[in-house]
Every structure is written in C-alpha cells, then in structure tokens.
Homo-oligomer: A and B are copies of this chain.
Amino acid sequence: MTESLERRARRVPMGDVARLAGVSTQTVSRVSNGHPSVLPETRDRVFAAMAELGYRPNAAARALRSGEFRAIGIVLFTLSTTGNVRTVEAIANWASAEDYAITLVPVRSRSREDVLAAIRRLGELAVDAVVLLLSAHLLDDAAIHIPPDVHVVIVDSDAGDDFTVVDTDQAAGAHAAVEHLLSLGHATVHHLAGPESSYAAERRAAEWRAALESAGRRVPDVVRGDWTAASGYAAGAALAPDATCTAVFAANDEMAAGLLRAFADAGRRVPEDVSVVGFDDIDLAEQLQPPLTTVHQDFGEVGRRCVAAALAQVRSGARSGGVDLVPTRLVIRASTGPAPA
C-alpha cells in the first residue's frame, strides 16, 4: 500500500508571504480578509506571493484570535437510522451555506459513562455550538450537566425548558396516521413501536395510544421493534395470525417494510386484509410492494431550524429555551385501504 514518499512541505506562515511581497504581516492579513483599504497593486503582489508559497491561513490561530471556529458540532449515537442521517445531512448543508463546517462526535454506546464522556468532550471541541441528536432520557440524568457557556440545540428530545429543542412534530404525525386508519373503518390500530430508548418512538407510541383512547377504541398491546426491517419482519410474523389485526401503524418505514414482507409470507394481503402505515417517508417507501402509506418528515426543515437556532445563540451569546416543532405530512399510497368487511 505504500510506495513513494514526498517530504512534507512546511506550513507557510504569514510572515513568509509578507517578506516575499515586501509588506507587513498586517497587510497580508488585510488582503487575506478582503479589507478594502489595500492598494490593488499591493493586493496583487500579496496574492502572487501567497500563490507562490502556497500560503493558507491557519485555522487555529484565527480561531484563537477571533474566538470563533465557524463549526457546529453534532453529537449522536449512530448514522444507521434514516432520521439521523437525513438530519445530519440537512444540518451540514444549511451550515455550509452559512460557511460553517460540521464536526461529528459519535457516542460509542448508550451507557451513562460514554454519554458523559461525550458531553465533557463537547466543551473542548473546536466548535461554536452543538446539536445533540440524542434522546431525552439521557439528559434527564441529573449527573449529566451541560456547561452553561455551551450553545446547545437538542433534537429528538423534550428538554425545552432549559434548552432550544427542534424536532419533527411526532405527536401530530402519529395522530394523522391513526386517524387515517380509523377513517378507513378499521376498528382499531395496532402499533409496531421503536425501541424504548428512543424519545421519538415513545412520543409516537404515546400519541397512537391517545388517539385510540380519545376515539373510544380498544388499545391493543404494543409490539416492539428496534427500527430495523428484520425486527419488523419478526413483529409481522407475530401479528399475522391475529385476525383482529387489520391495521398496523409502524413507527418507521424500515420496520413497515419488514411487516409487508411478513404479511406477504403469511398470506395476508396488503391492503385488502391488513393496512400498514409507516413513518419517515424514506426514498424506498414508494418502491415497496405495495407502495407504503407513511408520515413524511421534513428533515431538511429540521436541519434548517437547528442551524438557525444554533447560530442565533452564537450571535446573541445567549441560550434560549423553547420547542420548535416541524409539521409532518401524511402520504397516502397503496398500503392502506378500507377495513375488510
């Protein structure tokens, strides 16, 4: 794997450029930052010197001087869920538009000590603000304490009293899914929930229950998955024999995909025998068989608001509380239909 070696070229400091261009470092600095009062001729000379030496400003020195890193940190457990990926991408793109970079800090596990370690590292990161893509339960722990001078935005959580929270409106989305199924004549709706460790999963499950109760319907036992399609398949295999199960609301699309295959394998037709609704509206949702009715999340908007909130804190120097919910949209496809007669 190794072949040739090139000796490392030394990082060029401003002073070298200044010397070559015959000006002071301050003038180089001014050119570098587009300051107006530099003679065009001088500017060109400095640019030429920069190019010749391959000068690039040193981010550390700049940050030390200015106190700004122009970066936003994101703390998360995993990039293996659709929601996290899409949120991270959206944050990265919006941040990039503001000329901010994104620093990713993965947390090894959900163990208390790993989370604590990540939070502690937060403050030492070369970052102006932090987005926590962690579920709330973790922050409830009184021992987990976020330094007061760190600007934080929290996603997928409920700590709106102390922190800025941005999130998809899980409750409204879940409500719409249940309503849709009830309006098709189903007596009740089963729920394939995500893991208990997820705040989003818990919110969706709670609202599913509330919607059924407020409609005066029987509330079936919750079936739990772990977000994966495989867990959805297992849940589907367990639900298929139950003839009273004519409608299932899955907490995400991957698990819904597993459900669809499990029902197909068990000979239960979708949507004729069972209706299925997912959550997220991943790209593949439309390509499943049948195409999946699902709750569309606007991750782009979540990302935009995260960046906006983070930069607002950075610019004002203050931390604000409050919850900012992004609406969902029910996308009706072929996986839902009238209740069987």
Contacts and interface: CB of A to CB of B under 8 A. Distances in A.
Interface residues of A, number: 77
B324 A125 contact: no
Contact residues of A: prevailing secondary structure: mixed
A35 interface: no
Interface stretch (A85-93, A192-200, A206-214): A85-93
Nearest to A309: B1
B287 A233 contact: yes
B64 A6 contact: no
Instruction: Count the copies.
Output: 2
B7 A318 contact: yes
B103 A96 contact: no
Interface string A87-120: 0110011001000011111101000000000000
Q: Which of A6, A11, A106, A323 has the most CB of B within 10 A?
A: A106
B103 A324 contact: no
A289 B318 contact: no
Contacts of A69: 59-60, 126
A254 interface: yes
A124 B54 contact: no
A1 B324 contact: yes
A79 B88 contact: yes
Interface string A64-97: 1001010101000011100001101100110010
Contacts of A101: 73, 103-105, 125-126
Given A7-B318, A319-B6, A60 B54 contact: no
Nearest to A94: B106
A215 interface: no
A60 B60 contact: yes
A336 to B, nearest CB: 17
A340 interface: no
Most chain B C-beta atoms within 10 Å of own C-beta, residue among A3, A148, A284, A318: A284
Contact of A230 (B11, B228, B229, B287): B287
Given A3-B321, A93-B106, 12 more contacts: A5-B316, A5-B318, A54-B148, A60-B60, A60-B69, A60-B126, A63-B63, A79-B85, A101-B105, A103-B103, A257-B288, A261-B288
